[in-house]
Structure 1
Amino acid sequence: MRDYEDDKLHEECGVFGIYAPGHEVARLTYYALYALQHRGQESAGIAVSDGRTIDVHKGMGLVAEVFSDRTLNELNGKMAIGHVRYSTTGSSLLSNAQPLVVHYQKGMMALAHNGNLTNAAELREELGKDGAVFQTTVDSEVIINLIARYRRGTLEDAATKTMIDLKGAYALVVLAEDKLVGMRDPHGVRPLCIGKLGDYYCLASESCALDTIGAEFVRDVEPGEIVTVDEEGIHTRIGVPKCDKAGCSFEYIYFARPDSTLDQINVSESRRRMGVELARECPLDVDIVVPVPDSGTAAALGYAMTLGIPFEQGLLKNRYVGRTFIQPTQEMREVAVRLKLNANKGVLKDRRIVLIDDSIVRGTTSSKLVEMVRKAGAKEVHLLISSPPVLFPCYYGIDTAEREKLIATKLELDGIRKFVGADSLHYLSEEGLKRALGEQSVCLACFNGNYPVPIPEGQRKLAFE
């Protein structure tokens, strides 16, 4: 089962924050984290403030495993932040679970962070020389140390100075005793949006979290912007000047929930347009179009509708297999894959099919799916991918394999086709992806190596060796 999950890119985490006196802020945060569960399944946490102190509860596992009615009832306050995590920087340990909570000269502070800093090691060394003590291995702790160090006046002033020091990708929420602050990196790599619940405001990685708690979407946080929510309402300022916009393209390809809208682009619609572009680039004479659920579904619909080919659910997903599924023995690997996805023989038998998935990382899952479809009786299997080949690692908060493990770096197109066992293989072009995203400025570094934020030579060398 782990093999199947490892052959995908993984998002680091999701964040949420709310200021709503008189509301059950911990429970609202819990529901919002439920909506963001797809962004991280290793740990979850909620911190609340009553205006004087900050309480936190966090643990390893899914949101429903970490929290109970009792723990939520004990988290009382007028504002809260929450976090779900998939580890990239830092090991999968309880000590690395967020929100991080610290006591410092000005009182207490909690932080939840999505993204990755490219200069975290440099900042950690500098802070260490000044006597800072670190209790985790996550770069989020570097950020909270910087804010504490710069906190002479307002929290917003400290946040501004901190943003000047930070390099990389980040969307984060900070909880002080009396206010909630959100920050987004100047390239806007990681998403963050603002919602309104009655007279109060909240912040979330994705708009689907706002929908879940009944909040109204207001707008996306601008790259480089600092947003403050307190008893006087919402206030904003520019922390650092906006750079060339470079939102993560994989948010649209795979990570984000289909019902979310990020930077004014609906995720489901963008995936459907990827399928339309695939149809323009690679029209095939087949009997049916079959998606790999769930991230391939919208693209498959776009492809099928454009070419007038029947769309069929030839692969069915078992939605009751979670991360706690017992790891299979070697001889049971194929059983594990079939527990996650199973072929519908009645749909596939004697058909020529187009199988549409969002990406190929190592290629192991694609080969098993193609084999599964063939065993179900398909006459031809043509694999279409709704993104370009993944050729480079990500340094901005996505868990990609080392470059040497990315199949597209080792094999040419026909070699990949033979490895996965398909009759034909086509990747969406970069130009097609850009058209599907409305020519928005997005980060395509994992496809072309053009990193919007410079990567220290030492990090690049390690990843490319």
Structure 2
Amino acid sequence: MTETPRFLSDPFDDDKLKEECGIFGITGVAEAANFVALGLHALQHRGQEAGGIVSYDPEAGFQSARRFGYVRDNFTKASLMETLPGALSIGHVRYSTSGSKGNTAIRDVQPLFAEFAMGGCAIAHNGNLTNAEQLKAELIERGSIFQSSSDTECIIHLMARSIQSNIPERIKDALRRVEGAFSLVAMTRSKLIGVRDPRGVRPLMLAKIGDGYALASETCAFDIIGAEFMREIEPGEMVIITPDGIESFYPFEKTQSRFCIFEHVYFSRPDSVISGRSVYETRRQIGMELAREAPVDADLVCPVPDSGTPAAIGFSQESGIPYAMGIIRNSYMGRTFIEPTEHIRNMGVRLKLNVNRAIIKDKRVILVDDSVVRGTTSRKIKEMILDAGAKEVHFRIASPPTMWPCFYGVDTPAREQLLASTMSEEEMRVHLGVASLKFVSLDGLYRACGEDNGRNVLDPQYCDACFSGEYPVRPSDMIERGFQMRKSA
């Protein structure tokens, strides 16, 4: 029997924060699952590990398909999509941020489905519940039997224990018990439901398509299906969409919104719009802030593709230093690789990135990247640039130093593995072996996001815990495990 290939999640790129998950839902269109597949394809950057789709048709009932790997490799097959009929469907692309990592079981792949007394319900979740372990222990003690390692399943069991008479009310009941970050899409036999946590940490968007509606993590998912973006679901809002229209509720206690600022820096696609702002334009503005805050005498500004490109353009425009594609990405490697040999693994980033030697030789090069996490990839890229004949390499980073882990839906290394948590900026410069290293300031990042006065230290406008260590929602489970919060000044 032939052994099934083991797919590894980008073994050559462990120096980036991994992109949480993407969710999509649609109602009121024929063959809705096909639209979901297209939407998930546009959201593939948010999760490449696995994907799933659930649909409902009055004759066929609820149908689901869950697969490992890319959307394009699974949900473009007519033989599969024909098994997902109906005008109502939701889907999910996954990068595991809770539960098992690197050894995902098919039972962990969302959407999750459960049959209640009043009918079936499927749920797909982007984010992370910070009290999931406590809830799970409580639920197991009371007789619940868990089928997956996903924190999302806590919501299903809390719904099952609710005494409310319909599914939307049970969802409200369940979500009032959870802590952390969640954007959800859910579906019953007749309703498409979207919910965002009270602080709005994770995004959720609403669009109109024909006589129907769609929900998605990002606006770029609407473009691919020709839907017209309407608005963002507000923090703490729940929408219920039926053939009769949209109902809006606010079932949670009102609190200050704290949207994830790293969505602007890296997670969202540059062609998406967040809070009325083009993600591309925000990243270009970050580059301009960097050029003002940390100028350097050099010959070329080069992005580390692809996420560093808009910031590099902004740096070049503000500094007057020419922009050039000094590093070229191999677009055909993808984000997974099958069982690389040790020799291939040692080639590292050279399999993904190649230096444009004719441009780099004898130049003083400014490399613009979105972040430095462990620093391993940054060192390899610097070596490639110097090997190509560059005179100097300067790093400019389009985010502040990443010093703290994220517990709200991003797979972050442990704090001791984050370079900036153990080294000063100068120590990092020496470690990376570059002529200079500068990060955009937290105030500069806020200004690039449209906050002209920078960061309000008493009441920050965004969740920036990965930079500041100030967590808007107490990470209860991690504190129980021994995580040390930042001590107040």
TM-score (norm 2): 0.92
Shift of 1:458: 4.6
CA distance in 1, matches of 2:427, 2:394: 15
1:4 partner SS: coil
1:264-300 deviations in Å (ceiling 9; x for gaps): 2221111001001001101111111000011100000
CA distance in 1, matches of 2:80, 2:315: 47
Whether contact under 8 Å (1:51, 1:178) holds in the other structure is no
Aligned residue number for residue 472 of structure 2: 452
CA distance in 1, matches of 2:260, 2:58: 35
Higher helix share: 1
Amino acid aligned to 1:31: L
Amino acid aligned to 1:82: G
Residue 15 of structure 2 corresponds to residue 7 of structure 1? yes
Amino acid aligned to 2:64: V
CA distance in 1, matches of 2:149, 2:318: 48
User: Which has the larger displacement, 141-150 or 299-308?
Assistant: 141-150
1:214-258 deviations in Å (ceiling 9; x for gaps): 000000000000011111111111121332111111111111100
2:137 partner SS: helix
Aligned positions of 1:253-292 closer than 5 A: 253-292=265-304
CA distance in 2, matches of 1:265, 1:143: 32
Aligned positions of 1:238-253 closer than 5 A: 238-253=250-265
Residue 75 of structure 2 corresponds to residue 55 of structure 1? no
2:36 to 15, 29, 32: 29
CA distance in 2, matches of 1:242, 1:30: 34
CA distance in 2, matches of 1:460, 1:210: 40
Residue 462 of structure 2 corresponds to residue 442 of structure 1? yes
1:370 to 379, 382, 385: 382
Aligned positions of 1:153-164 closer than 5 A: 153-164=165-176
1:94-124 deviations in Å (ceiling 9; x for gaps): 1100111112222211110000001111211
1:52-111 deviations in Å (ceiling 9; x for gaps): 721100111111222211111121011000000000101122110011111222221111
CA distance in 1, matches of 2:230, 2:391: 50
CA distance in 1, matches of 2:142, 2:480: 28
Shift of 1:335: 2.7
2:196 to 184, 187, 193: 184
Residue 86 of structure 2 corresponds to residue 77 of structure 1? yes
Amino acid aligned to 1:290: C
1:332 to 325, 339, 344: 344
Aligned length: 464
Shift of 1:28: 0.5
Whether contact under 8 Å (1:28, 1:213) holds in the other structure is yes
2:144 partner SS: coil
2:52 to 40, 45, 48: 45
CA distance in 2, matches of 1:211, 1:413: 41
Aligned residue number for residue 203 of structure 1: 215
CA distance in 1, matches of 2:478, 2:303: 40
1:333-389 deviations in Å (ceiling 9; x for gaps): 353411211100011000111000000000000000000111111101000000010
Residue 302 of structure 2 corresponds to residue 295 of structure 1? no
Whether contact under 8 Å (1:201, 1:234) holds in the other structure is no
Aligned residue number for residue 16 of structure 1: 24
Whether contact under 8 Å (2:10, 2:336) holds in the other structure is no
CA distance in 2, matches of 1:284, 1:14: 38
TM-score (norm 1): 0.97
CA distance in 2, matches of 1:178, 1:38: 30
Give the fraction of aligned pairs with identical amino acids, expressed as a percent.
Answer: 47
> What RMSD in Å do the two structures reach over aligned CA positions?
1.6
Aligned positions of 1:387-406 closer than 5 A: 387-406=399-418
CA distance in 2, matches of 1:458, 1:299: 34
CA distance in 1, matches of 2:87, 2:390: 57
Whether contact under 8 Å (2:11, 2:336) holds in the other structure is no
Aligned residue number for residue 317 of structure 1: 329
Aligned residue number for residue 420 of structure 1: 432
Aligned residue number for residue 454 of structure 2: none
CA distance in 2, matches of 1:441, 1:197: 32
Residue 249 of structure 2 corresponds to residue 237 of structure 1? yes
Amino acid aligned to 1:272: R
2:73 partner SS: helix
2:338 partner SS: coil
Aligned positions of 1:54-133 closer than 5 A: 54-67=62-75, 68-91=77-100, 92-133=104-145
CA distance in 1, matches of 2:86, 2:234: 28
Give the unaligned 5+ runs of structure 2. 1-8, 452-459
Shift of 1:2: 4.0
Could you list the structure 1 runs, at least 4 aligned residues long, displaced by more than 4 angstroms after superposition.
none
Shift of 1:326: 2.8
Amino acid aligned to 2:19: E
CA distance in 1, matches of 2:484, 2:67: 34
